[in-house]
């Protein structure tokens, strides 16, 4: 499994943001711009909390195993792999969603004198912050579950 690259996530966020900003301008010129749901930042924050709790749980279990504590619970490799896949998928979706709400929020900055649009800009900004929290939690989870590199080089025999 390949590691997430921050450049890829940032590029995805920027491209989605630019497309969303252009789409918001076009949509607003034709009709009424759809509302930013209040649930968007809440759902993203919950996903970030779940990813962070999973990472902290796995990290504490791995630490207990390394210290050879008698009450240490093992980490199932499949559970760790599923957690990493969930984190990577969440980070990719969060980058897209953050870019989408970021572009919409940038468009709405021009209309802060209208109370409903100001509220929408705030919800969009909170969604971007929560999306970045999802990305950070996913990267932390991935780092926690990363296997240590082998110290042996290929093709060399172990020292006797």
CA-to-CA distance for 44 and 46, rounded, in angstroms? 5
Q: What is the pLDDT of residue 150?
A: 45
Sequence-distant (6+) residues with CB within 8 A of 148 are none
Give the pLDDT confidence of 65-75 residue by residue, as tens digits.
877 777 777 77
DSSP 152: S
| DSSP, res 114 | S
Residue 149 is predicted with a pLDDT of 60
Predicted local distance difference test score (pLDDT) of residue 28: 84
pLDDT reported for residue 148: 66
Q: What is the pLDDT along the chain (160 residues), one digit of tens a residue?
A: 788 899 999 999 999 999 999 999 998 888 888 888 999 999 999 999 999 999 999 998 888 887 777 777 777 888 888 999 999 999 999 999 999 999 999 999 988 898 888 999 999 999 999 999 999 999 999 999 887 664 544 545 454 4
pLDDT of residue 114: 87
Q: Which residues of 33-66 are buried (b: 16+ CB within 10 A; e: fewer)?
A: beebeeebbeebbebbebbbebbeebbebbebee
Q: What is the pLDDT of residue 160?
A: 46
């Amino acid at each position: 499994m390949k590691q997430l690259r921050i450049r890829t996530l940032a590029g995805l966020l920027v491209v989605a943001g630019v497309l969303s900003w252009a789409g918001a301008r076009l949509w607003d010129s034709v009709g009424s711009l759809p509302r930013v749901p209040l649930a968007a930042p809440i759902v993203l924050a919950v996903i970030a909390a779940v990813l962070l709790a999973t990472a902290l749980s796995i990290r504490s279990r791995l630490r207990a195993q390394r210290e050879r504590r008698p009450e240490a619970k093992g980490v199932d490799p499949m559970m760790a792999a599923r957690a990493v896949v969930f984190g990577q998928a969440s980070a990719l979706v969060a980058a897209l969603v953050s870019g989408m709400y970021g572009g919409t929020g940038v468009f709405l900055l021009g209309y802060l004198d209208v109370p409903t649009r100001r509220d929408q800009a705030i919800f969009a900004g909170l969604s971007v912050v929560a999306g970045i929290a999802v990305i950070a939690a996913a990267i932390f989870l991935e780092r926690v579950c990363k296997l240590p590199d082998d110290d042996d080089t290929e093709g060399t025999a172990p020292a006797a």
